[in-house]
């Protein structure tokens, strides 16, 4: 008589495994599309002849979509469900990728920004669906472990995204052309022709990406992913559910949104500025410096594996968040307080850039730690709470702009010293995340006498 329950248990386990594989592929796509922005910034700065401010709009136009689309995404998911919502998100990304073709052909900066914005809109929908799905598909205590599992797909993409871009888009002949342009060999019409040759290298890869995103959207729609009702699986109690009429009555969530904003923003500062920072030390995009973001992502990839092994068997997810945010706080201080020349991986740079790279390892467990702590117990507010956390991903749009404004304030310094000094902005951000890991996530009410968790 016990055979049927056992068969159902095995079947459910198989569906869960298949679901996690599908979600890992989704997170791989997140990473492939997102992390290539770290090389698009210097690439567009050269090929489109952009100022520093204009180059930072590359990430701004992409990640600002999270701010505008996260809440509409939650309503979309409530209406059409997770699977169909994911399909729409992938299709929106496909449209954004297609826009790279006319943008490159005519070398029009504004069309690139529109394409990046639509890629961001699609990702906002996908993130709004996939992150809570991973969080509530199993016990909340092991959510960080599941986030680490699917996160390996994201960071694997981060490791190879720049390498793929550099290999597929920047050919050997293009590297020569880049060095000649940087050296001022071309001018007038000759320069325009050289820039046209360079920028059109993105057309075929992004056309292939658009087709792949469209097909994968259909595959997701008809996959084995089960539909999950967050109102049922992610609530504390009926009494708690009824006492919270508004999403703003969950301090742990709102404070977690701020922590996520700071984490994502500092991560993009570290990744998005690293090649330019190396450039102030004499390293070129055409040389080994183009691989720096991949080194950071490699460490993050390792960090995710550590999360899979350690959480929750050996370490609680909130303790992992505390340890990792503290380590990055220390790295932040070292970046601006230490100096010295290092010869490593074919580059001669200041040691501070390697502290920036090493942040990749602890960063792996910040996202995986913040999300489940912030979303825990939201019940009927789960989709909206997830939307708030997705909005926080706009930190990748805003924080690099803030960082650049501090760089511009230091025009009396050398380019190297201006960038190095501006990294002080990382310190208060990581200090806040440390506080959230210690106390912020425990707060259950805005009233002082009810703050204890």
Query: What is the distance between the alpha carbons of residues 303 and 356, in angstroms, rounded to a whole number?
Result: 15
Q: Are 134 and 146 in contact (CB under 8 A)?
A: yes
Residue 312's pLDDT is 75
Find the helix or strand (DSSP H, E) in which 350 lies. strand 347-350
Q: Residue 172: is it exposed, middle or buried by C-beta count within 10 angstroms (0-12/13-18/19+)? A: exposed
CA 257 vs CA 159, 222, 240, 374, 440: distances in Å: 26, 32, 21, 7, 11
**pLDDT tens, position by position, 262-298:** 999 999 999 889 988 998 998 876 778 888 888 888 8
Overall average pLDDT of the 416-435 stretch: 96
Q: How many residues belong to the chain? A: 453
pLDDT for 244 equals: 57
Asked if residue 10 has pLDDT above 60, the reply is no
Does 435 score more than 70 pLDDT? yes
Most trustworthy range by pLDDT among 44-53, 196-205, 385-394, 418-427: 418-427
pLDDT confidence of residue 91:
96
Peptide bond into 174 cis (omega under 30): no
Distance CA 265, CA 392 (A): 9
Which of residues 32 and 99 earns the better pLDDT score?
A: 99
How far apart CA 130 and CA 150 sit, in angstroms, is 10
Better-predicted residue by pLDDT, 405 or 133? 405
Is 265 within 8 Å of 109 (Cβ atoms)? no
User: CB of 227 within 8 A of CB of 77?
Assistant: no
CA distance 256 to 392: 9
Band (pLDDT 50/70/90 cuts) for residue 1 is very low
With bands split at pLDDT 50, 70 and 90, how would you rate the model's confidence at 170?
confident
Q: In this model, does residue 452 exceed pLDDT 70?
A: no
- Residue 230 CA to residue 228 CA, distance in Å, equals 6
Q: Rounded to whole angstroms, how far apart are CA atoms 37 and 400?
A: 12
Cα–Cα distance between 26 and 90 in angstroms, integer? 9
Say which range, 69-83, 93-107, 398-412, has the weakest mean pLDDT.
Answer: 69-83
Q: What is the pLDDT of residues 384-409, one digit of tens each?
A: 888 899 899 889 889 999 999 999 99
- Residue percentage of the chain with pLDDT more than 70: 89
Where does 225-340 have alpha helices with state H?
A: 230-233, 238-243, 251-279, 292-310, 317-337
The confidence score (pLDDT) of residue 261 equals 96
Tokens of 24: 């890992």
Residue 24 pLDDT greater than 50, yes or no: yes
Q: Is the pTM of this model over 0.85?
A: no
For the cut 50, the answer to whether the pLDDT of residue 29 exceeds it is: yes
pLDDT at residue 328 tops 90: yes
Residue whose entry in the numeric block shows the structure tokens 């699977």: 83
Average pLDDT in the chain: 84
Angle CA 334–340–342, to nearest 5: 105
Under the banding of pLDDT at 50, 70 and 90, the label for residue 154 is confident
Query: What is the domain class of 10-222+248-446 according to CATH?
Result: mainly alpha
pLDDT (mean) for 19-31: 83
Which has more confidence, 309 or 434? 434
Query: Tokens representing 60?
Result: 């701004």
**Mean pLDDT to the nearest integer, 28-57:** 82
The mean per-residue pLDDT over the stretch 422-433 comes to 97
CA-wise closest residue to 41 among 58, 53, 60: 58
| pLDDT per residue as tens digits for the range 346-397 | 888 999 999 999 999 999 889 888 988 898 878 777 778 888 998 998 898 8
**What is the rounded average pLDDT of the residues 167-181?**
82
Kindly state the average pLDDT of the residues 219-248.
65
Higher pLDDT, 141 or 214: 214
Mean pLDDT of 28-49: 82
Cα separation, 33 vs 210, in Å, equals 11
């Amino acid at each position: 008589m016990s055979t049927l329950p056992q068969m159902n248990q095995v079947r459910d386990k198989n569906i869960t495994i298949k679901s996690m594989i599908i979600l890992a592929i989704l997170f791989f796509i997140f990473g492939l599309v997102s992390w290539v922005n770290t090389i698009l910034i210097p690439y567009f700065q050269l090929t489109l002849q952009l100022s520093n401010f204009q180059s930072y709009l590359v990430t701004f136009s992409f990640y600002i979509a999270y701010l505008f689309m996260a809440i509409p995404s939650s309503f979309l998911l409530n209406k059409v469900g997770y699977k169909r919502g994911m399909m729409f998100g992938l299709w929106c990304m496909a449209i954004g990728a297609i826009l790279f073709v006319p943008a490159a052909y005519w070398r029009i900066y504004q069309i690139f920004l529109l394409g990046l914005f639509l890629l961001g809109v699609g990702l906002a929908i996908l993130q709004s669906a996939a992150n809570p799905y991973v969080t509530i598909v199993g016990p909340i205590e092991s959510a960080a472990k599941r986030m680490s599992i699917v996160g390996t797909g994201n960071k694997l993409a981060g490791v190879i995204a720049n390498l793929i871009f550099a290999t597929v888009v920047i050919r050997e002949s293009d590297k020569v052309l880049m060095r000649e342009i940087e050296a001022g060999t071309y001018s007038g019409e000759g320069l325009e022709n050289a820039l046209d040759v360079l920028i059109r290298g993105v057309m075929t890869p992004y056309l292939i990406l658009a087709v792949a995103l469209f097909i994968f959207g259909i595959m997701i729609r008809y996959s084995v992913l089960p539909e999950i009702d967050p109102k049922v699986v992610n609530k504390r109690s009926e009494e708690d559910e009824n006492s919270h009429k508004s999403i703003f009555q969950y301090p742990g969530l709102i404070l977690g949104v701020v922590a996520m904003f700071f984490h994502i923003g500092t991560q993009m500062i570290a990744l998005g500025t690293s090649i330019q920072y190396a450039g102030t030390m004499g390293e070129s995009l055409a040389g080994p410096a183009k691989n720096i973001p991949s080194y950071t992502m490699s460490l993050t990839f390792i960090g995710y594996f550590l999360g899979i092994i350690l959480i929750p068997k050996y370490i609680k997810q909130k303790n992992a968040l505390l340890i990792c945010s503290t380590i990055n706080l220390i790295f932040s201080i070292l970046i601006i307080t230490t100096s010295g020349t290092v010869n490593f991986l074919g580059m001669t740079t200041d040691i501070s850039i390697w502290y920036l790279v090493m942040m990749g390892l602890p960063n792996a467990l910040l996202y995986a730690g913040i999300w489940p702590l912030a979303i825990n117990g939201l019940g009927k507010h789960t989709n909206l709470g997830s939307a708030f956390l997705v909005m926080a991903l706009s930190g990748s749009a805003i924080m690099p702009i803030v960082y650049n404004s501090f760089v511009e304030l230091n025009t009396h310094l050398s380019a190297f010293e201006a960038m190095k000094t501006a990294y002080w902005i990382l310190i208060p951000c990581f200090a806040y995340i440390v506080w959230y890991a210690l106390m912020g996530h425990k707060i259950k009410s805005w009233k002082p006498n009810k703050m204890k968790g």
